[in-house]
Amino acid sequence: MIVLFPLSAATSATGGSEGLSLGSRNAEYHERRLSVIQQFCILLDRLHSKGIVHGDVKPSNLLFDAAGNLRSIDFAEAVLESEPLCRYTITTHYPSPSSLKQGSPLTRANDLYAAGMTIWHIYTGRVPFEVIEEDDLYSLIEQGLRPDLSLIDDEAVRSLILKYLDSGE
């Protein structure tokens, strides 16, 4: 039996938006974030190496098992790369610019862009673009809006986020 624990926490005590439950913010917190990011990248690479496009990459679709291993859930939008289908739903804060085009098929690029957004979320503990209204957000993403990378104080993580975002456009 695998017991799973959510990566995302409920709303904060201040009523703010969903953050990440990775422990208190000390030296171990930074290492924990880096470990989660590394596990996430390996998990996504493994999925893609099997020809699977997840289709809904985001922190709330990541869980830890009892051994502390990161797992991906919610494959409702998943497709095989060899048999691409058009997307039916889009998660507000994680879509790639190309996924916003009407009738565009799901591709690995969609997952990669969402991975960049997810890594940003894991590192900052913030939902990307949480202060922008959904009606405006999609248009801004299509125009190239990116999350605030000045909040990423680790150059390797910033480069990783950019690599994923660039691969997904």
* Beta strands at 4-6 and 62-65: parallel, antiparallel or unpaired: antiparallel
Instruction: Give the chain's domain count.
Output: 1
Lowest-pLDDT range, 62-71, 75-84, 107-116? 75-84
Residues tagged active-site: 56
Q: Report the CATH number that the domain containing residue 146 is assigned in CATH.
A: 1.10.510.10
Residue 53's H or E segment, with its range, is strand 52-53
- Tell me the average pLDDT across 46-55: 94
Phi and psi, residue 80, nearest 5°: -85, 140
Question: In the predicted model, what is the mean pLDDT of the chain?
Answer: 82
User: Which residue in the block uniquely carries the two structure tokens 């299509």?
Assistant: 142
Share of the chain above pLDDT 90, in %: 48
Residue 6's H or E segment, with its range, is strand 4-6
Query: CA–CA separation, 132 vs 134, rounded Å?
Result: 6
Which domain, by its residues, includes 87? Answer: 4-167
